[in-house]
Amino acid sequence: MNDSPPNLVKTMLPTRITLVALALTILPLASIHGATAPLFSSAIAGPTTMKWMPAATTALETELVSRHGESQRARIHRGLQQVADYWRAGDGERAVFEDFVVENFASDPATLDTTFERFEFLLEKMYGHANEIRLAMRRQTDLDLGPILPMDRISAGYSVADHYREDFFANKLAFTVLLNFPITTLEQRLAEGETWSRRQWAEARLALRYARRLPTEVQQAVSQASAEADQYIADYNIYMHHLVDENGKRLFPPGLRLLSHWNLRDEIKADYSDAKEGLAKQRVIQRVMERIVEQSIPQVVIDNPHVDWDPVSNKVVPAAVTDTAEPVPLDLQVVDLPEPDTRYRVWLNNFHAEQRVDRYSPAAPTHIARVFNDGREVPESEVEAMFSQILSSPLLGRVAQVVAERLGRPLEPFDIWYAGFRPRSAYTEEALNAVTRQRYPTPEAYQADIPRMLEALGFPADRAREIAAQITVDPARGSGHAWPLGMHGAQSHLRTRVGPEGMDYKGYNIAVHEMGHNVEQVISLEEVDHYLLRGVPNTAFTEALAFVFQDRDLELLGLAEPDKESRALMLLDSFWGGAEITAVALVDMRAWRWMYNNPAATPAELKDAVLQIARDVWNESFGPVMGIRDVTLLAIYSHLISNELYIPNYAIGQMIAAQIEGHITAADALGVEFERMCRTGDVTPDMWMKVATGDPVGPQALLQATEQALEELAAF
C-alpha cells in the first residue's frame, strides 16, 4: 500500500532493455506496505512509558472478557497490547485510555465488518485526494511548462499526506485499527499468508499501516532531503561538444547535453553502432564518469556550456566555440577547482534523514531493515544470496566471452553497458527518431494511440479502451515517469519528454515502459477486490511488468519482429544488463551498511568508502571475467545518491522479469495474462509469483534462460 505520501521514487531501467533505456517512474516510496511490524510488541512504546499502563490493560482485559465472553479473550488481549504499544503520554491519562478501549472494541462480527469497510472507504478518499494534491504541488517541477520559480521547488517538497498518519494517532482512529485488527510480522506473512482470506490480507495491510508512529517533522525531513537530491541529479548535465582531447578535437556534436549518468550511459550504448569514433567516445565518457564518482570533475564544467574540458588532463579553458544561445555569464570564472564532494554530501543528507526515522521504528531500526522487511518483504540476506548466485555464476564469464567475440577486441570497463546484442542496434537513432517524431508529434498523439497499442499487445478491444481512458499523457521536464492513480476512477499519468520536433525514440521508448506502469497501476487498483490490497507486492514487480511492454516497443512501431536468434541475443542482453544492475545494487547495499557502521562520516570519508566498495564489487564480478581490476564505474549510478536503496529493486526485478516474461511468452496471450497477474494485488512476492507463474521468486528462470540462449546461439 502506498501509505506515506505519494513520496517520489524514481526508477531507472536496468540496461537489459534497450539501447536508450531511460526512465523515471514515480511510485510509492519506502514502506510500500505501510509500516514496520514490531518483533516485540512492547518495543515501540513512546519515549515515556506510562506507569499505569500494565494495571490498566490487565483490568480492561478482565472487564472486556466478562462483557463479551471468553471466546474474545485472545482478540482483546492482542488489541490492548497493540494500543498500549503506541499510546503516548500526550494521548491521554488512564481514564481516557480506558474509555477509548471500552467504546471502540468491536466485539461482534457485524461491527468489525463495518469498522473495516469504513476504514477502507476513508483511506481511499484520503490518499486518493492527497495524490491529486501532490500532483498539483509538483506540476511545475515535473512537467515541461517553462521556468521554475523558487516557490515551485518549495511546493514540490511539500506533501499533505505527511500528516495523515500522525493525525490518525492524534484523533485516535489509528488506535481503533490497532485495537481491532492484528499487526503481523514478516515471518507470519511468509509462513501463514497463503492460508489467509483476501479480507484477512486486507486487514493485515490495514494494521501494518499504523505499526509505526513518525512525527511529522521527521517525515518531512525525509521528503525534503529526497527532493534536494532529486534536484542535484536533475541539474547535473555535461555539455558534450565541450569535451576536447589534447589536440582540442571535439568528438560530440554541438548542443548535445547529457544528464549524468543515464544519458551518458545511453550515449555509450549508442556509440556501439558508430564504427568510426564510437570507441573513442566511449573511452572519453568513461573518464568523465570516473571523474564524477571520484569528484575530481571541475565544478565549473557541470551544467555549463561556456567552458571546454579535457577529461583526461582535467584542464579547463573558456569555450572556444559556442553552441548555446545563452550569453556567457559576466561573472564566469574558469577555474579547475573540483566539485567539493557534493555528490556524497547529498547522499549523506538522505542517510541522516533516515536516521531520524530509526528511533521511531525500533523493530526495524535501520533504513535497510525497513526497505527489505517492509517494502520488499524479502529479507536482505535472501536478496544478497540471490544476487551472489547471479554474479558468481559461470554464465557471467561465458556471456563476457560472447561480448568480446562480437566486439572483436578485449573488453573495457564501459562494456558493462554493451548494447550490441539487440537487433535494434541495426537501426540508427536518427532513423528511429524519424519514425517516432512523425507518429507522435505531441503528447496527445501518443495518448490517442494507446488503445491501438494495448490491443496490439493482446488486450481485448473493450479493455484496451477502458484502460486507456484512465491514462493521461503529460510532457515531462525530466526523462519521464509514471504517476499512479490513488483512487477508483482517477487518472494514471504517463510523463515523457516530447521535443519541439515531436517525440524522439528515447522519449518513445520511455513512454512504452511507463505505459506498462500505467496499465499495471490502473488494473491493480480498479480490478483488485480491496483498496487496501491495490498495487503489486513491491516496486520490482511493477518494473518487471513495465519491461514486458518496453521489450515490445519496436513491434508496436511495426519494426523488426525478433527471430529465434534475436530472442536468444536479447536474453543475453537481459542477463548482461541484469548482472550490471545487480553489481550496482550490491554497491548500494554495502554503502548503506557502511554509513550505518560509520554514522559520523564526512562526505570525503563516504567518498573513499564508496570508491573502495565499488572496486571490491567490481573485483568480485566483472573484474575476473574482464581481467581488469579496481574499476570505480559501478558507483556512477545516480540513484545511489537520490534513491535510498531503491536500486536492488532493479536487480530483483530482473529475476522477476525473467519469470514473468517466460510465463507470458509461453502463454502467448500477453494482455490477458498481464491483467490476470495484476489482479492479485499486494500480497507477498512469493505468493504473487506463485499465482502468476507457479513458482516463488528466484534467479533460476534468468539463469536457465541464459544458459539456453547460449546453447541456441552456439548452434547458429
Q: For 548, what's the count of Cα atoms within 13 Å in the CB-facing half-sphere?
A: 36
DSSP H stretches of helix in 457-563: 461-468, 505-526, 539-550, 553-556
SS3 assignment, position 244: strand
By beta-carbon proximity to Zn ion, the closer residue of 25 and 159 is 25
Nearer to Zn ion, 23 or 606 (CB): 23
Q: How far is the CB of 493 from Zn ion (least distance, A)?
A: 14
- Shortest approach of Zn ion to residue 524 CB, angstroms? 15
Which amino acid is present at 662?
A: G
Q: Which residues pair with 475 in a beta bridge?
A: 496
Per-residue cell: 499: 521535443
CB 462 → Zn ion: shortest distance, Å? 27
Q: Which residue number, 25 or 574, has a Cβ lying nearer to Zn ion?
A: 25
Closer of 297 and 546 to Zn ion (Cβ) = 546
Amino acid occupying residue 332: L
The count of C-alpha atoms lying within 13 angstroms of the C-alpha of 575, restricted to the half-sphere facing its C-beta, is 33
Q: By C-beta, is 242 or 517 nearer to Zn ion?
A: 517
Dihedral sign, CA of 578, 583, 584, 589?
A: positive
CB neighbours (10 Å) of residue 14? Answer: 25
C-alpha cell of 348?
549523506
* Nine cell digits for residue 68: 463479551
CB of 217 to Zn ion, least distance (A): 31
CB 39 to Zn ion: min, Å: 33
Q: Supply the minimum distance, in Å, between the C-beta of residue 29 and Zn ion.
A: 14
CB atoms within 10 A of CB 121: 11
Scanning 408-442, the segments in alpha helix (DSSP H) are 429-439
Give the list of residues 6+ apart from residue 270 with CB closer than 8 angstroms, or none.
Answer: 19, 20, 419, 429
Nearest distance, CB of residue 142 and Zn ion, angstroms: 15
Compare residues 134 and 481 and give the one whose CB is closer to Zn ion.
481
Residue 454 CB, shortest distance to Zn ion, in Å, is 18
The nearer residue to Zn ion, 415 or 543, going by C-beta atoms, is 543
* Smallest separation, CB 516 to Zn ion (Å): 8
Nearer to Zn ion, 140 or 518 (CB): 518
* C-beta closer to Zn ion: residue 25 or 141: 25
- 8 A C-beta contact, residue 435 and residue 505: yes
Gap between the Cα atoms of 518 and 539, Å rounded:
13
Q: Which is nearer to Zn ion, 97 or 505 (CB)?
A: 505
Query: b or e along 537-568 (b: 16 or more beta carbons within 10 Å of the residue's beta carbon)?
Result: bbbbbbbbbbbbbbbbbbebbeeeebeeebeb
In the complex, what is the shortest distance from the CB of residue 481 to Zn ion, in angstroms, rounded to a whole number?
Answer: 8
Q: For residue 493, is the peptide bond before it cis, meaning its omega torsion is within 30 degrees of 0?
A: no
**Nearest-approach distance from CB 578 to Zn ion, in angstroms:** 15
**Least distance from Zn ion to the Cβ atom of residue 517, Å:** 6
* Cis peptide, bond prior to residue 261, ω within 30 of zero: yes
Phi/psi at 204 (5° precision): -60, -40
CB of 257 to Zn ion, least distance (A): 23
Q: Which amino acid is at 604?
A: A
Looking at the Cβ atoms of 11 and 295, the one nearer to Zn ion is 11
Q: Which residue, 37 or 678, has its beta carbon nearer to Zn ion?
A: 678
User: What is the grid cell recorded at 334?
Assistant: 574558469
Query: What SS3 string covers 187-235?
Result: HHHHHHHHHCCHHHHHHHHHHHCCCCCCCHHHHHHHHHHHHHHHHHHHC
- Rounded Cα distance between 387 and 578, Å, is 10
Asked if 519 contacts 454 with a C-beta cutoff of 8 angstroms, the reply is: yes
Under 8 Å between Cβ of 31 and 373? no
Residue 82 vs 550, nearer CB to Zn ion = 550
Contact 524, 35 (CB under 8 A): no
Task: Find the residue with minimal CB distance to Zn ion.
Answer: 25
Residues at the site binding Zn ion, with contacts judged by CB under 5 A: 11, 25, 543, 546
